[in-house]
Amino acid sequence: MLKAVPLMALAFVALAAAACTTQTQLRFEPLTPSERTALIEEGREIATSQCGSCHAVGLADASPRPGAPPLRSVLERYDSAALTGNLMIGVRVGHLDMPLFEMGPRGADALVEYLYSIRSTNQQVPER
């Protein structure tokens, strides 16, 4: 499912990076609504299958594992581009209890797009 789609993935990663850089010269086509929906759906599957045993992955559920913050709150504390990069290359983003993930650019991007979609302060999501 997470086989590489190198060019798209590069564009997504660059887009995520660009979104957090105020003076970027780079311009990318935004995702179309259907592309975004597909990416969010992919991210939801990853979150449910790989994070859901510990973290709440929905809009109002409680984390199964005490101490694991609901994923909807994660973007309040983590920069999305940094999180994408960390998930992609397998840097530990949480506690030592947390397994190490290496999900590749597409998976990391899908997951972060999903995190945006469930973000607790969704009304403040910048145009990306």
Question: Directed axis angle between helix 104-118 and helix 6-19, to 10°?
Answer: 40
Q: Which residue type sits at 8? A: M
Question: How near is the Cβ of 102 to ligand HEC at its closest, in Å?
Answer: 10
Toward ligand HEC, which CB reaches closer, 11 or 87?
A: 87
Q: DSSP string covering 47-109, please?
A: IIIIITTTS--SSSPPPSSTTPPPGGGGGGTS-HHHHHHHHHHT---S-TTSPP---HHHHHH
Question: How near is the Cβ of 5 to ligand HEC at its closest, in Å?
Answer: 19
Is 38 an interacting residue with respect to ligand HEC (CB under 6 A)? no
Residue 125 CB neighbours (<10 A): 11
Toward ligand HEC, which CB reaches closer, 15 or 43?
A: 43
Is 53 an interacting residue with respect to ligand HEC (CB under 6 A)? yes
Site mask for ligand HEC (CB under 6 A), range 107-126, x = bound: ----x---------------
Task: With contacts defined by CB under 6 A, name the span among 17-25, 33-41, 67-75, 119-127 that binds ligand HEC.
Answer: 67-75
Beta strands in the chain (DSSP E): none
Q: Which residue type sits at 65? A: R
Question: How near is the Cβ of 15 to ligand HEC at its closest, in Å?
Answer: 19
Best CA proximity match to 20, nearest among 88, 95, 80: 80
Please give the residue ranges that form the binding site for ligand HEC (CB under 6 A): 50-51, 53-55, 65, 67-69, 74, 77-78, 93-95, 97-99, 101, 111
